[in-house]
Structure 1
Amino acid sequence: MFEHISLMTLDSLQKCVFSFDSNCQEKPSEYISAVLELSALVTKRNQQITLHMDSLYHLIPDGWRFRRACRLVHDFTDSVIQERRRTLPDQGLDDLLKAKAKVKTLDFIDVLLLAKDEDGKELSDEDIRAEADTFMFAGHDTTASGLAWVLYNLARHPEHQERCRQEVRELLRDREPKEIEWDDLAQLPFLTMCIKESLRLHPPVTVISRRCTQDIVLPDGRVIPKGVICLISIFGTHHSPSVWPDPEVYDPFRFDPENTKETSPLAFIPFSAGPRNCIGQTFAMTEMKVVLALTLLSFRVLPAGEEPRRKPELILRAEGGLWLRVEPLSAGPQ
């Protein structure tokens, strides 16, 4: 599931970030290959402390490949930004972007071109490239992991899968599936609960680091000094029995609004929390809802093979891949 879904999320991001049709699910893409290679190289480097020094890393073949892939990715983003600026008509950037916004055709590059700070200063091309690249890298593998694991959990719980399917069918009963709209997504409460419970059980990002901006006094009186960098285990928080009873059980009803009234907002942190939380969490949740809804309308997902062992890398994967069986549903009424 990971390979297929990762290509789909990359395809979607290229459309939403750059308004570019990569069609990478049907044919090879040099840019997509570079993104995938960079992700693999970062994972490998992260696991070998001797490669953390740039001066050493750039002398070995992996370092050469890393720099070459970086250049390719940066050149692609730069060319999109420069082409967008070059082809602006005489009415000016602001007028063009506002006109595009009215017909909902703004992409991420447009939003960044339109952005200004409190002094009215625009982002530089380098700033825009950094933001776009962050969205591409942070947004494809994490969302792919979230989708793969929620499909796995629904495959293991057919009663929840069928309830999600019926919820989507009821919502779109008089329309074509491709007509799903933004406002529809708020009307899929059970499907949303299933996604959240999967993100609790299988968080795509298992650990984050934060620097303390002040002394932190722990319940036992010990103090974490200001300036110390702490590792925060998202996986550990989500699997702590003191936070979540029976933490290994997949139970979407944990996220029924009636059951979350007394839950701490920091008990569920798949996108981190606070001012440095995930910039793309709304985008990711939206994409997961749409993909899951349209998938369940057309297919039944079933378990395949042995239960996978969780494998935390940059994202949470499965040893040997995550294998599922997918059956097309009949075209007639269900």
Structure 2
Amino acid sequence: MDPSTLWWSFSSLAAAFVLFQMFTVPSHLRHLPCVPILPLLVSYLSGEVEDVRIKRLILPFANERDEGLVLVWALGRWMIHILDHKLGAQMAENPLLYPKELPPDGLLLWRFIGGSNVLLANGERWKKHSNVIRDAFNLSIPIDQFTHLAKNLFDVINPPSDGNDTHTVDFSDLAQRFALDAVGSSVLGYDFDAIRTESLFVHEYNGIMHDIANPLYLIMPFLEKVFPRRKVIKRMDNLVDKFKMLLQAKRNDPGDDMMTFMLKDPAMSEEELRDNMVVLFIAGHDTSAGGLSTLIYFLAIHPEIQAAAREETLRVLGPTSIPSVDTLSAASLPYLNACIRESLRINTPISYIVPRAAVEAVTLGKYYIPPNTSLIYNIYAVHHRNDVWGDPHTFRPNRFLDNTERGSVLKDAWIAFASGPRQCPARNFALYEQRALAVMLLREYEWILPADSIHKNGLKNAFSPFALTLPRDLHITFTKRKC
């Protein structure tokens, strides 16, 4: 046989063996229910969005087979997705036994966000980050800033010089711009002015996130080491340098923002400050935008619910009063808050949380979990279990106004901000941000979905490989109300 042919045959066999080993369920996990590998690979390579993949391939294990967890191949390895909130709570309540997993692969996302932040840290290091960030978020809720940004949004929805009362806008884009200005002014202490102008910063950020999401590199993360994407890495490092410049600018010009507060803590290193800044940026920009877009969508397709939320808003705040922390509280606006909770349930902005790994062999319910196994709390799946929600794909805010024992069960199963000691420290901030913008829009406009909307038969999300659930091309027709 020709040597070159022999070499090619040997290389092909070696590659086939490596792929077989990669995609085959390890022997110590074969006792667990498992999503077949072939449809998963087809889903990843075709760019199927996360919520569709969960509904099609993962949810049947919960709704039809009554399983509490399932093995899923993702990001180059097999992971356990937890589908039952009771099992999830068992894990979430014990961060010492189930610490956050250090990312074992070469995904560029981890290079971007770093490892020295509240998202990935464990033990005493996590406590330090958590305490500082919680204290920063508890300083005050910037209601005035939220309402100011809402008025800026009005000028884009209805330009003052236009004279027309009805306009159709891409609200998914406006929600991103609103969220960026909100996180910029209140968290980072920087005015992106994104609502009124196109932000080159966020344009570069979106481009990098798109490049990171190459399906082939997501399926086989080791390719980042074999065939490094140097241009993407350079662009990403340049953006990181811009975050560092924002941090230095904040040192030179302190303000009332959260980064200024964090800079005062001598225990926070430069790397920790930078990594937390990136994490807070992603959380405050992407997840907030997704939640806001989803809420506006469901109020658009349910005019009777929109009208009920507006009636409550006008009854509590009147048509022109300045919103405050008290008037925007969940207790003051229970129906609007229920609408927000339901929208966060049905199209959760983040589908699942960063993996954890048990430090020793454990049992979750009826399932034996070997040590060092990746565990993911699948928020989207938990929020769509038939046995918990009854009609999980129906937008029904009243389920969160149920004060019976049934309502208590639903409260426990609602994990939009995760659960346990490591639930999102910005949850109160995020809910006030949603209530503030919703109140301002409800008093100013009525809105509907255009007849030719791509969402007329159901909400469609953009592709995101990082568990983000973000509505795409969400055009909404706003009509200014006659007061």
Letter in 2 for 1:176: T
The equivalent residue for 2:308 is 163
The equivalent residue for 2:474 is 322
The equivalent residue for 2:250 is 81
Letter in 2 for 1:110: T
RMSD: 2.5
CA apart distance, 1:303: 1.6
What is the distance in 2 between the residues matched to 1:152 and 1:57?
41
The equivalent residue for 2:4 is none
The equivalent residue for 2:219 is 49
Q: Could you tell me whether the CA contact under 8 Å between 2:357 and 2:373 is conserved in 1?
A: yes
The equivalent residue for 1:12 is 182
The partner residue of 1:301 within 416, 423, 447 is 447
CA apart distance, 1:54: 4.5
SS at match of 2:391: coil
CA apart distance, 1:280: 1.7
SS at match of 2:256: coil
What is the distance in 2 between the residues matched to 1:83 and 1:268?
42
What is the distance in 1 between the residues matched to 2:398 and 2:410?
16
Structure 1 pair 74–253 and aligned structure 2 pair: CA distance change class (3 A): same
The equivalent residue for 1:183 is 326
Post-superposition CA distance 1:34-62 (Å, at most 9, x none): 33333333444796334555545644433
The equivalent residue for 1:280 is 426
CA apart distance, 1:113: 2.7
Post-superposition CA distance 1:132-166 (Å, at most 9, x none): 22111121110110110111111111111111111
CA apart distance, 1:292: 0.8
The partner residue of 2:379 within 221, 231, 234 is 234
Post-superposition CA distance 1:212-261 (Å, at most 9, x none): 245442433x3112321112221111111011111111110110151464
CA apart distance, 1:184: 1.2
What is the distance in 1 between the residues matched to 2:284 and 2:395?
25
What is the distance in 1 between the residues matched to 2:271 and 2:360?
32
Q: Does 1:127 align with 2:277?
A: no
The equivalent residue for 1:206 is 351
Q: Could you tell me whether the CA contact under 8 Å between 1:303 and 1:324 is conserved in 2?
A: yes
Post-superposition CA distance 1:80-105 (Å, at most 9, x none): 233137xxxxxxxxxxxxxxxxxxx7
Letter in 1 for 2:379: I
SS at match of 1:231: strand
Q: Could you tell me whether the CA contact under 8 Å between 1:45 and 1:51 is conserved in 2?
A: no
Q: Could you tell me whether the CA contact under 8 Å between 1:57 and 1:63 is conserved in 2?
A: no
Same amino acid, percent of matched pairs: 23
CA apart distance, 1:197: 0.6
CA apart distance, 1:78: 2.6
Q: Aligned runs of 1:22-171 on 2, under 5 Å?
A: 22-44=192-214, 48-50=218-220, 54-56=224-226, 58-75=228-245, 77-84=246-253, 106-115=256-265, 121-171=266-316
Structure 1 pair 328–52 and aligned structure 2 pair: CA distance change class (3 A): farther
Letter in 2 for 1:108: M
SS at match of 1:123: coil
What is the distance in 2 between the residues matched to 1:210 and 1:3?
33
Q: Could you tell me whether the CA contact under 8 Å between 1:198 and 1:250 is conserved in 2?
A: yes
SS at match of 1:230: strand
Corresponding pairs, count: 302
Q: Could you tell me whether the CA contact under 8 Å between 1:237 and 1:267 is conserved in 2?
A: yes
Letter in 2 for 1:291: L
Letter in 1 for 2:414: F
What is the distance in 2 between the residues matched to 1:11 and 1:46?
34
SS at match of 1:262: helix
What is the distance in 2 between the residues matched to 1:126 and 1:312?
30
Post-superposition CA distance 1:95-132 (Å, at most 9, x none): xxxxxxxxxx73101321344xxxxx532333222222
What is the distance in 1 between the residues matched to 2:479 and 2:429?
28
Q: Could you tell me whether the CA contact under 8 Å between 1:41 and 1:62 is conserved in 2?
A: yes
Q: Where does structure 2 lack aligned partners over 5 or more consecutive residues? A: 1-170
What is the distance in 2 between the residues matched to 1:84 and 1:310?
39
What is the distance in 2 between the residues matched to 1:172 and 1:286?
15
Structure 1 pair 251–57 and aligned structure 2 pair: CA distance change class (3 A): farther
Q: Could you tell me whether the CA contact under 8 Å between 2:359 and 2:372 is conserved in 1?
A: yes
Post-superposition CA distance 1:262-297 (Å, at most 9, x none): 316541111111222222211111101101111111
TM-score for the superposition, normalised by structure 1: 0.81
